[in-house]
Structure 1
Amino acid sequence: MTDPIVRITEARKAFPLPDGSRLAAVDGVSLEAEPGTAVSLTGPSGSGKSTLLHLIGAIERLDSGSIVVAGQDIGKLSRKALAGYRRTVGFVFQRFHLLPALTALDNVLAPVLPFRTAFDKQERARELLKVVGLDDRAAALPSQLSGGQQQRVAIARALVNEPRLLLADEPTGNLDSRTGTAIMDLLLTLRDERGTTVMVATHDPGIAERCDAALHLRDGRLR
């Protein structure tokens, strides 16, 4: 039996409010994600979807509970080890977050430029642009790309370290339905061809239906 790539146990995260109280964004969530599967997180705005992805990606730190990814309990990692862990997880955001002064190729390269790698960085970036169907747009700036193309560049950037886990936070939220379907097609192709585990937060029930498992959050809890 294969161990889950993500195992979350009683995860909790709250944020302070101006009146001194705390808002429970994630409130006792436990779940598992199997390697090479696609898992959707659905729920209304404020339900905790994004916060849960941020916790898994170590963008936020847990208040209590545990998150184990590929055998690592990320709550027990040092600051230096956490920085290394973040480079093993791919993250795709709703707003793309491409650097406007950099070409598509350089945006894909950006996460690995400061580090030594065992692979040729330029070759890897060009290969990934080909994977997402943009090998002919390597020299284009983000302003010269459509929204769907920018999201494809963002996905290529998220894959540059060959992560086993890809976290996608509303990746189709700024796209029309046709382009959003194409982006989801790409994410599922990565699951099928590369064995990448994909966890996607979405408002779109059509996307949730295409995943191997669908989890629904409300008020920070699984329902």
Structure 2
Amino acid sequence: MTRRYPGLVALDGVDLEIGDGEAVAVTGPSGSGKSTVLHLVGGMDRPDEGAIEVDYVELTARRLDAHRRRIGFVFQRFHLLPALTVLDNVLAPVLPRRVDFDRRARAMELLGAVGLAARADALPSELSGGQQQRVATARALINRPGVLLADEPTGNLDSATGREIIDLLLSLRERYGMTLLLTTHDPEVAVSCDRIVRLHDGRIVADERIAPDDDVFDRLGGLRP
């Protein structure tokens, strides 16, 4: 897939296949196209050339709404609504439409899964950064997505809290049977995944599967901080 903006080729002929249930980290310097990959997969943007398939179905303009309901998105800056409680923030994506499940029960289940059921009535301002990211993660899962996209999910967190968030994302992937695709500058986050895809100037320059005790830092030149 290729995506161009005025004066910039964000992605240049990227061909990427991700298996069901995989955890894949997309790395690379700023401006390499990491976030563009997530936006295209999530249906937030459209490629100029190429196609995107999810579950062997090509993503088209007519299928965008249904596709977006099957995708969860976790952002670096949380994007919680400050006037809403933790519970209402998790519920926000499903309040405007009909669903075939108990909204509140599912939201509370997800808050339990991220360890924040006891803070359901708190406001975002009463939570730490790590707790806010947990709420944002619960919100992203309210539709039971098959794919969870996370754009620099630890970027605004200290290293210890970031480690907790990555462990949480990986455990939720196992619990709910999701595919996880994340972007990161952090090598410790990247090597926690099953694969590392490295971008440079909008092209894939490395695609490495991580094995236990595999030292990929040197083989993926430039990954070390």
Structure 1 distance, partners of 2:79, 2:66, is 21
Q: 1:126 aligns with which of 104, 108, 115?
A: 108
Q: 1:25 aligns with which of 6, 10, 28?
A: 10
TM-superposed deviation, 1:190 = 1.4
- Residues 87-144 of structure 1 show CA distances to partners (whole Å, capped at 9, x for unaligned) of 1100000000001110110000000001111100010101100000000000111111
Structure 2 distance, partners of 1:83, 1:199, is 20
TM-superposed deviation, 1:31 = 0.9
What percentage of residue pairs aligned between the two structures are identical? 60
Query: Which residue in the other structure is 1:15 paired with?
Result: 5
Query: Which residue in the other structure is 1:86 paired with?
Result: 68
Query: Which residue in the other structure is 2:213 paired with?
Result: none
Q: 1:100 aligns with which of 82, 87, 108?
A: 82
TM-superposed deviation, 1:71 = 2.1
Structure 1 distance, partners of 2:86, 2:20, is 29
The one-letter code of the counterpart of 1:47 is: S
Q: 1:209 aligns with which of 161, 182, 191?
A: 191
Q: 1:184 aligns with which of 166, 191, 205?
A: 166
Aligned Cα RMSD in Å?
A: 0.8
Query: Which residue in the other structure is 1:5 paired with?
Result: none
The one-letter code of the counterpart of 2:5 is: F
TM-superposed deviation, 1:194 = 1.9
Does 2:177 align with 1:195? yes
Structure 2 distance, partners of 1:99, 1:132, is 18
TM-superposed deviation, 1:177 = 0.3
The one-letter code of the counterpart of 1:148 is: G
TM-superposed deviation, 1:154 = 0.3
Structure 2 distance, partners of 1:150, 1:131, is 14
Does 2:95 align with 1:113? yes
Query: Which residue in the other structure is 2:34 paired with?
Result: 49
The one-letter code of the counterpart of 2:3 is: K
Where in structure 1 are there 5+ consecutive unaligned residues?
1-10, 17-21
Structure 2 distance, partners of 1:86, 1:174, is 25
The one-letter code of the counterpart of 2:37 is: L
Query: Which residue in the other structure is 1:19 paired with?
Result: none
Q: 1:37 aligns with which of 22, 28, 46?
A: 22
Q: TM-score, normalised by structure 1?
A: 0.90
Does 2:124 align with 1:142? yes
Query: Which residue in the other structure is 1:77 paired with?
Result: 61
Structure 1 distance, partners of 2:18, 2:122, is 36
Query: Which residue in the other structure is 2:151 paired with?
Result: 169
